[in-house]
Amino acid sequence: MSNNNNEMKKELGMGAAMATVVGCVIGSGVFFKPTAIYTATGGAPGLAIIAWVVTSLVCLCAAMTFAEIAILIPETGGMPVYLKKVFGDRVGYLCGWMQTVVFYPGLVAALAVAVANQAKLFLGDGMVVPVAIVCIIIMVALNCMGAKVGGAAQTIFTVAKLIPLVLIMIFGFIRGNGNPIFDPMLGEGLKFGSVLGQLMIAVLFAYEGWTNVGAIAGEMKDPGRDLPKAIVGGVALIMAVYIIINLAYLWVLPADVMMNLESPASAVAMQIFGNMGGKIVSVGIMISAGGACNGFILSGSRTALYMAEQGDLPGSKALSKISGTGVPINCIFLIGILGAIYALTGQFDLLTNLGTFVGWVFYTLTFAAVMAYRKQAPDLKRTYKVPAYPVIPIIAIISGLYVLLNQLFMAGPDARKVAVGGIILVLIGLPVRAIFTKKKAA
């Protein structure tokens, strides 16, 4: 797989794979996105809860679809590898370019900013950007120690982040006020269709990361056995956690209050446990976002490695280097440096909306690739098949198209600017590819 004397080591088992899914996904969205969600609904809880349920089911359909192709092509690199095999070099390249320069570093930055925003409870305002960059540096250092260390760290982060979730879910219902959960459904003057699309893009960020395990498949001991369990099982577990905790939030604080809070989960925790208890839970939330940041660096560097090995990135020869610890050390630095640059914005929602939009362009193509590959290679042995085929993949594809078209045409000028900006950043990859194609030909 690598052109180096050192090769990527197959050290990751089922535990690390599941931890990568759960650890990357449960990061910051479930703790911070209620603000954007309830702002979109005008402070009404009903449609927000419906959006959590509907989008969770969409993600489950997406996970069941994605797992089929991830198992058939268990190579380090993930989606760019799948799309190249099914739809050709150009589509695969654009996916890898998107993930390397926009998606992974953008979401690494967003998660680091989430850590920094939470740290304001202890450090005060004015330290968001420096703390975010320090967070990225720490996670880069962890990943440079080897896949085994990075996987172990991800497992520890995952266990640690479940503590604030469990505490809020249990004590939220015990000590909460019992606020309305479905009434009102939507604020006055708002349109159901356009608001639902905005809610779905916010909820989809909370699920972002479940595909990351595909990027590390080449380092798994038994991907054929462990990948479907990690992907589908992980998303099902996250779905249950997300729906329960959002009901717990509302049980403690009403939606029209949460829409005005920068850190709604911390406010809920302080309401339940008091100031000191709330700060302790806030530390757990920081660990949660930091763990997700670690997971995105782990997965993003493997996609960058795949691109470098194809000779598709500036400095590909150096980026292809595998360190003595068996990791693509320069690719880790690349994702970290780009993430630190994005973190200079200090903008959580901007970065998450950008990353989620461009990510779902290629997720939707990957769902279509599952169906196309059934026709291209009908006799290929499939140890796992999407259940209820073709209904589940079609649901995933239609849902993806709805979210993307909503952002472009229905969700308002700010959402449209983010979507168009994301498309431009992706399309910049075409002239870059043309340059490197000429160099290869020469």
- Domain assignment present for residue 299? The answer is yes
Give a yes or no: residue 341 inside a domain.
yes
Task: Answer yes or no: is 382 within a domain.
Answer: yes
Q: Are 135 and 115 in contact (CB under 8 A)?
A: yes
- What DSSP designation does 321 have? P
For the record, the structure tokens of 357 come out as 């939009």
Q: How far apart are CA 364 and CA 397, in angstroms?
A: 5
SS3 state of residue 220: strand
Which pair of structure tokens corresponds to residue 10? 């197959």
Q: How far apart are CA 78 and CA 432, in angstroms?
A: 21
Question: 21 near 213, Cβ under 8 Å?
Answer: yes
How many domains does the chain divide into?
Answer: 1
CA-CA distance, 376 to 369, in Å (whole number)? 10
Angstrom distance (rounded) from CA 392 to CA 225: 21
**221: in domain:** yes
Residue 325 · residue 144 · CB < 8 Å: yes
- The candidate with the shortest Cα–Cα distance to 230, out of 395, 8, 360, 63, is 63
Measure Cα distances from 102 to 355, 422, 429 in Å: 7, 8, 11
Host domain of residue 111: 14-436
Q: Identify whether 192 is part of a domain.
A: yes
Q: Which two tokens stand for residue 372?
A: 């196309």
How deeply is 256 buried, as exposed, middle or buried, from its count of CB atoms within 10 A (0-12, 13-18, 19+)? middle
Is there a domain that residue 442 lies in? no
Global pTM reads: 0.83
What's the Cα-to-Cα distance from 283 to each of 118, 164, 170, rounded to whole Å? 8, 9, 18
Please say whether the beta carbons of 70 and 234 come within 8 A. no
Assigned domain for 424 exists: yes
Question: Can you give the pLDDT of all 442 residues of the chain as single tens digits?
Answer: 444 444 556 666 777 777 667 766 776 788 888 998 999 999 999 999 999 999 989 988 998 898 889 888 877 667 888 999 999 999 999 999 999 999 999 999 999 999 998 888 788 777 899 999 999 999 999 888 876 776 677 677 777 777 888 889 999 999 888 888 888 999 988 888 889 988 998 898 888 877 765 555 566 677 667 777 777 777 888 888 899 999 999 999 999 999 998 788 888 999 999 988 888 888 888 888 888 888 889 888 988 998 898 888 888 889 998 888 788 999 999 999 999 999 999 998 899 999 999 999 999 999 999 999 999 999 998 888 888 999 999 999 999 999 899 888 877 788 899 999 999 999 999 998 888 777 766 6
279: in domain: yes
Assign residue 162 the CATH number of its domain. 1.20.1740.10
Q: Which amino acid is at 330?
A: N
Q: Which CA distances in Å does 407 have to 236, 357, 358, 364, 415?
A: 26, 8, 11, 15, 6
